[in-house]
Amino acid sequence: MVQAFEQKTPETERAHEANGEDRWIPSACSMCYGTCSILAHRVNGVVTKIEGNPASEIGKGRLCAKGISGIMTLYDPNRVNVPLRRTNPKKGVGVDPGWKEITWDEALDEIAARLRKVRAEDPRKLFLQRTTTNTTIGPICHAFCHAFGTMNQWVAGGGLHCGNGAHLISGIMHASWSIVPDFEHCQYAVYFGASKGHAAGHASCSNMGLAADARVRGMKMVVVDPMCNFAAAKANEWVPIRVGTDAALALAMAHVLVNELGIWDAPYLASKTNAPYLIGPDKLYVRDAETQEPLVWDATAGRARPYNAEKLGQEPLGELALEGEYEAQGVRCRPAFACLKEHLARHTPEWAEPITTIPAATIRRLGQEFGREARVGSTIVIDGVRLPYRPVAAIAFRGSEGHRNAVYNFLAIDLLNHLVGAADVVGGCLGFNPVCHGHPETKRPAYVPYAGPDGLMVTGSWMVPHLPYPFEYPRMPKSMGFNELFPLGMSSPLMASADQEERWQRFDLPYRPEVMINIGCNSVMSVGNSETVINTLLRIPFIVSFDLFRTELSDLADIVLPDMSYLEQLDSKPNYPFIFNLPGGMGDWCWAVRQPLIEPVAERRQMNQVLLELAERVGISEDINMALNALLKLQPPFTLKGSQQYSFAEVCDQHLKSNFGPRHDLAWFKEHGVLSWPKKPQEVYWRPFVEVRVPIYWEYLKRVGDQARALAEPRGLHLPEEFYDPLPTWLPCPGHECSDEQFDLYGFYYRDTIHTNSLTQENAWLDETAQLDPNSYYIAMNAETGKKKGLHDGDWVWMETVKGRRVRGRVHLTQGMHPEGLGIGGCAGHWTDGMPVARGKGVFFNQLLEIDMDHASPVNLNLDLCVKVRLRRCEEA
Amino acid sequence: MKLFGILGLQMGERSVALQLAEGARLRDLFEVLGEHFGAKFGEAIFRQPGVLQTYVRIFLDDVPVDDLDTPLTASLPPHLDVGTISHDGEGTHAADRASAKPRGEEQARVGLMVMSAVEGG
Ligand code: SF4
């Protein structure tokens, strides 16, 4: 085994002093998952400053306040520094665990013994949860779980709160994890509950620079959001919307485009989507009897033919019908686009006005502006290549999709892009780098989307082994989260829900979790109300938690292990797997690494190394090597071999050499930080060059729904049919259906720019910054609404739900809030003494959220994040 | 043939040595394995006859392959160009394998792993 890092000894300390060391070292930030490239100033072994690395596209030399403040987490005196063993067997909130310091060997012996036992009984008894924020840990956690034999893994809160809808649909429609406007060329961007380029999120700092330049250039920004927050404050227009009604607005805008203005990109729809596929009376594709391929109407030939006739050896297709009614295979049928057009006719601006509270005239104007600015049919030359030019983009993320209707909310918004052909072309809505032809020397990493079943697009690269399409059809669940029943979902609330045990019993789940490994995640606060989560955790007999600080979750653990912060860690792939954080648009490809900036402190260890060691102790080294070969796409001669033991540093070295050749090994990357090469227009604006289609009509959703319901309904799990229709509509959240007039406001949370969820709440500089901010630790409320309720700025209130859950906070009255909205930043309100800086600060919004299947999307399991509340004035906390 | 992760535990055997006819492909191997392990093998890895579930990974000589028509009688070149990728960037294309040098007496090392439908974030 190779020792990953140099040990801190009196000799090395003296050497540093003698050398008078003064270096800038390249690495990668992880104060959020943006992974901006950084340069850290190290003087005599101490990190004194962090700046952005201008040599990198990831961050483009910029850092946000969180990135600069990482030093305070690195040197926080409250860090966990040694393994701790609980001595008090009783667990619960306020119960002293009776921590006792133990050695790493003692800790690993006990953990390995537990793991060997459950693996022998049933490996699915292992449950692993990890934070989304540290991107370094994803592949190793997947590899460990696959090797061990458990599918029970999740990013508690992440996914449920943000990604289930956004990533799924971005994957299916744009072959990427997320979407952004092509900032360099876009003229008109509409943001629906998204802050890309204005606050936190993927490629955050790079996008902030690009968005600022775009605004200066004249790109018009319209931001649809209940709160005039980070994006809206910089926009040309803020459109306040009732919480959770974005699909209604987007569908009405689409109606204006298609049915009032007659604007759509017919060549794009005919060749790049399933718009011409014929739909029968059963809402399914009409298929060729012989080949089972979906049929289209060849208007030139005057008959139905397979969409891929030429590939089947037939003569090329003529002009494909997008409208009309035909007969094929003995049934009356219409092209999918005709079905969509008729469906949209019901979604007029007048229909949307009472749902969204946005005047019909405003909705109509937005639709008209979007259609006019799309310039359907125009082209532009980029680097000598003529390309379609559609300078409009409709962008969505957590705000619009964090609802029970997550799938349709996101899909309805993205339909705007596809109707006008503004998908992955110049000026339009771009996925994050879904086509890469690789480094010029090695042609790696390389990936291109390709056509899967029914000609629909399969992503060329993805974050997890579970592709967004093609998905498995529903099966009887065997996992804790019932992922098999919800193939369009990722994170599942059943991992920590109130109805967990009842559902497991009804579906005869043959095991229960016995060992939990928690990695840097505080699920007590990150999922929903803490009481529900704690109840699920108390049922797990043995919990081991890797932590920087003792959190509310680690207080329930049996063993706490001292993790390294990102400034102490090594990683060959902070931006894994390349579709995550590199900004969209032209510029450079850029591969960056993370490296330790100081020598190891106390007993802290990087969890990646610890998991490899645990794999060895459990006897699954060969399995984890194989899983890493697959996940990291290692190629000979750089594959991990048999049951050979590798240090994490060796895995990183193999990974880098596999991608970039032996010259670009770990040592090279540690010295240079990043490897860059130029992007090509065919990579960035790939849509015209890649023969794939995307679904504007989600035919398979109906098939999935039918099969899921057939399995779920007999066991008492109701999956409403209206969520599985092939065409999107607006469906209400439980909060919209609340009829008790006392509960007259919609509480929601937003991603603060000062804090990253609960992760950074202990950081002293960020806490100080948040205390100066008018919103961070407050409940933002419409000033007029507050006045009507007799509230004044700074008043203390209880925020209460129909279910009787409540949190206390101070109101900040502002004009920048929808009259019915109450906005809360991040995930504050800690109570553990392990985080003394964070303790008692801000509002714990998630405490108000129910965690059960009734409050989750019945399609992709996204948790409903808006909650109907009332306010009551109270005394100071 | 090695069954990694949960597959080895479910099938009750982690390692199986099989003799296949000259010119056999992965598809043939799976047929033999289906006979060896019975119906539970097919249920664990196929979504429908002959079509693998999307989260099953096959490894040939430690490298993921995604094509059941990959011949077992060919081996990877000892030092495959690091630029060789399949259409989707995952694994190695059947064509690359078909043109690889014959394996001779050397045994094909095949591995199988279920990389289950887990969450993202
Ligand atoms: S955006 Fe995220 S990754 Fe970038 S500097 Fe800020 S905290 Fe770090």
Distance between Cα A207 and ligand 1 center (Å): 11
Q: Give per-residue pLDDT as tens, A4-20.
A: 334 455 666 666 666 68
Q: How far is A147 from chain B (nearest CA, A)?
A: 4
Structure tokens at A423: 């998908």
Could you give the CA distance from residue A534 to residue A553 in angstroms, rounded to a whole number? 8
- Is the domain spanning A165-435+692-703 CATH 3.40.50.300? The answer is no
Could you give the CA distance from residue A652 to residue A658 in angstroms, rounded to a whole number? 10
AA identity, residue A692: V
Interface check for B40 against chain A (CB to CB < 8 A): the answer is no
Q: Which residues, other chains included, contact A671 with Cβ-Cβ below 8 Å and sequence gap of 6+?
A: none
| Domain A86-163+488-564 architecture | 3-Layer(aba) Sandwich (3.40)
| A-to-B residue pairs, Cβ atoms closer than 8 angstroms | 171
**Residue A608 pLDDT more than 90?**
yes
Of the candidates A827, A807, A856, A805, the one whose C-alpha atom is nearest the C-alpha of residue A526 is: A827
Helix axes A138-148, A607-618, angle to 10 degrees: 10
Q: What is the DSSP string of A274-292?
A: STTBEE-TTSSBPB-TTT-
Q: How far is B2 from chain A (nearest CA, A)?
A: 10
Do A443 and B85 count as a contact with CB atoms less than 8 A apart?
Answer: yes
Residues in chain A with CB shorter than 8 Å from the CB of B114 are: 146
Binding-site residues, ligand 1, Cβ < 6 A: A 29, 31-32, 34-36, 59, 63-64, 66-67, 204-205
**What predicted TM-score, i.e. pTM, was given to this entire model?**
0.94
**For strand B51-52 and strand A450-451, is the pairing parallel, antiparallel, or unpaired?**
unpaired
Q: Which residues, other chains included, contact A159 with Cβ-Cβ below 8 Å and sequence gap of 6+?
A: A132, A167, A490, A491, B119, B120, B121
Q: What percent of chain A has pLDDT over 90?
A: 90
Distance between Cα A201 and ligand 1 center (Å): 8
Do B89 and A151 count as a contact with CB atoms less than 8 A apart?
Answer: no
A734-873 has the same fold as A86-163+488-564: no
Of the candidates B107, B98, B36, the one whose C-alpha atom is nearest the C-alpha of residue B67 is: B98
Range of weakest confidence among A254-263, A266-275, A598-607, B61-70: B61-70
Q: In what order do the strands lie in the sheet with A331-335?
A: A278-279, A331-335, A326-328
Q: Give per-residue pLDDT as tens, A51-96.
A: 999 999 999 999 999 999 999 999 999 999 999 999 999 999 999 9
- Is the domain spanning A734-873 CATH 2.40.40.20? The answer is yes
Residues in chain A with CB shorter than 8 Å from the CB of B112 are: none
Neighbours of A365 (CB within 10 A): 16
Could you give the CA distance from residue A431 to residue A176 in angstroms, rounded to a whole number? 5
End-to-end CA distance of chain A: 54
* Residue B120 maps to a domain: no
Q: Point out which residues pair with A447 in neighbouring strands.
A: A436
Interface check for B51 against chain A (CB to CB < 8 A): the answer is no
Neighbours of B64 (CB within 10 A): 23
The stretch A551-567 carries a mean pLDDT of 97
**Residue A247 pLDDT more than 90?**
yes
| DSSP letter (8 states) at residue A610 | H
Q: How many residues does chain A have?
A: 877
Could you give the CA distance from residue A859 to residue A471 in angstroms, rounded to a whole number? 13
| DSSP letter (8 states) at residue A256 | I
Q: What percent of chain A has pLDDT over 70?
A: 98
Residue A112: HSE in the Cβ half-sphere, 13 Å Cα cutoff: 17
Q: Which residues, other chains included, contact A481 with Cβ-Cβ below 8 Å and sequence gap of 6+?
A: A152, A154, A489, A491, A492, A493, A494, A495, A861, B119
pLDDT of residue B117: 59
Domain ranges of chain A: 86-163+488-564, 165-435+692-703, 734-873
Do A487 and B47 count as a contact with CB atoms less than 8 A apart?
Answer: no
Residue of A nearest to B119 (CA): A490
Q: Give per-residue pLDDT as tens, A664-701.
A: 999 999 999 999 999 999 999 999 999 999 999 999 99
Of the candidates A852, A802, A722, A745, the one whose C-alpha atom is nearest the C-alpha of residue A405 is: A722
Structure tokens at A782: 């419409």
Q: What are phi and psi of A403, to 5 degrees?
A: -145, 170
pLDDT of residue B93: 41
Confidence band, pLDDT 50/70/90 cuts, at residue A721: very high
Distance between Cα A594 and ligand 1 center (Å): 14
Q: How far is B28 from chain A (nearest CA, A)?
A: 22
pLDDT of residue A674: 97
Could you give the CA distance from residue A270 to residue A335 in angstroms, rounded to a whole number? 10
Confidence band, pLDDT 50/70/90 cuts, at residue A877: low
Could you give the CA distance from residue B61 to residue B54 in angstroms, rounded to a whole number? 21
> What is the three-class DSSP state of A567?
helix
Distance between Cα A45 and ligand 1 center (Å): 23
pLDDT of residue B89: 38
Confidence band, pLDDT 50/70/90 cuts, at residue A426: very high
Mean pLDDT estimate for chain A:
95
Q: Give per-residue pLDDT as tens, A855-868.
A: 999 999 999 999 99
As for the ipTM of the complex, it is: 0.86
Interface check for B87 against chain A (CB to CB < 8 A): the answer is yes
Rg, Å, chain B Cα set: 14
The sign of the torsion formed by the CA atoms of A248, A254, A256, A258 equals negative
Segment holding B112, helix H or strand E:
strand B110-114
pLDDT of residue A83: 98
Q: Which of A138, A467, A630 has the CB atom closest to B54's CB atom?
A: A467
pLDDT of residue A687: 97
pLDDT of residue B78: 39
**Residue A820 pLDDT more than 90?**
yes
pLDDT of residue A10: 62
* Residue B121 maps to a domain: no
Is A412 exposed, middle or buried, given 0-12, 13-18 or 19+ CB atoms closer than 10 A?
Answer: buried
Confidence band, pLDDT 50/70/90 cuts, at residue B65: confident
**Residue A46 pLDDT more than 60?**
yes
Residue A798: HSE in the Cβ half-sphere, 13 Å Cα cutoff: 10
Residues in chain B with CB shorter than 8 Å from the CB of A129 are: none
Residue of B nearest to A448 (CA): B88
| DSSP letter (8 states) at residue A548 | S
Angle at A56 between CA A51 and CA A59, to 5 degrees: 60
Alpha helices by DSSP H, listed for A539-680, are: 607-618, 621-631, 648-660, 666-672
AA identity, residue A548: L
- What is the distance, to the nearest Å, from the Cα of residue A641 to the centroid of all Cα atoms in its chain? 33
Distance between Cα A331 and ligand 1 center (Å): 56
Give the structural domain span for B106: 2-114
The stretch A182-198 carries a mean pLDDT of 93
Q: How far is A856 from chain B (nearest CA, A)?
A: 15
Could you give the CA distance from residue A89 to residue A101 in angstroms, rounded to a whole number? 16
Confidence band, pLDDT 50/70/90 cuts, at residue B87: very low
pLDDT of residue B98: 43
Split into its structural domains, chain B has a count of 1
Q: What is the DSSP string of A204-238?
A: HHHHHHHHHHHHHHT-EEEEE-SB--TTGGGSSEE
Do A636 and B62 count as a contact with CB atoms less than 8 A apart?
Answer: yes
| DSSP letter (8 states) at residue A253 | H
pLDDT of residue A714: 98
Residue of B nearest to A154 (CA): B119
Instruction: Identify the CATH number of the domain in which residue B81 sits.
Output: 3.10.20.30
pLDDT of residue A540: 98
pLDDT of residue A847: 98
Do A448 and B88 count as a contact with CB atoms less than 8 A apart?
Answer: yes
Residue pair B47/B53 in contact by the 8 Å Cβ criterion: yes
H helices then E strands: how many in chain B? 4, 6
**For strand A559-562 and strand A84-85, is the pairing parallel, antiparallel, or unpaired?**
antiparallel
**Residue B119 pLDDT more than 50?**
no
**Ligand 1 pocket test target in A27, A29, A33, A230 with most atoms within 8 Å of CB:** A29
Segment holding A331, helix H or strand E:
strand A331-335
Place of tokens 């909650």: A867
Could you give the CA distance from residue A25 to residue A53 in angstroms, rounded to a whole number? 10
Alpha helices by DSSP H, listed for A7-103, are: 10-19, 65-68, 70-74
Q: What are phi and psi of A232, to 5 degrees?
A: -60, -35
pLDDT of residue A197: 85
